[in-house]
Amino acid sequence: MPLIPGDALPYFENMIYLPIIISILERDREVIETSSFKLKGPYINIVENTLKTVRAELKDTNTYARNRNLKLVKKGKDGSFTEYAFIHNGYEDIRRYMNIRLRNRTEELINEYFAKSENPNLKG
């Protein structure tokens, strides 16, 4: 039996990416609110709807993690990598993510969330 169950990996990834997305979107909302856009409402609505979705997914992820004794610990960051510890029932699996990959994947996910925000019938 693997130390970290395979079905838990998407939840660990959510614990990495969803807080990053929330932080970026909250900053972007502030920029939009203070910008010189003529019509800020549509942009703020997209960001707000996306934030609502991402926060709900993070809440579900945290509930899943708590119920299954999963914990994510950010161990450190250097110029190229960020290191995380995936912890399950006392076992620790250290994973290193390239910072450029974290950035690119975050951007991909934001695009997916924006697409869902525009068309809530999309599944993804």
Render pLDDT for 42-94 as a digit per residue (tens, 0 to 9).
999 999 999 999 999 999 999 999 999 999 999 999 989 999 999 998 899 99
What percent of the chain shows pLDDT beyond 90?
84
What residue type is 9 in one-letter code? Answer: L
The b/e string for 84-113 (b: 16+ C-beta within 10 A; e otherwise) is bebbbeeeeeebebeeeebeebbeebbeeb
pLDDT at residue 1 greater than cutoff 70: no
**pLDDT number for residue 2:** 62
**pLDDT number for residue 3:** 79
**pLDDT number for residue 117:** 79
pLDDT at residue 103 greater than cutoff 60: yes
DSSP 89: T
**pLDDT number for residue 120:** 61
pLDDT at residue 118 greater than cutoff 80: no
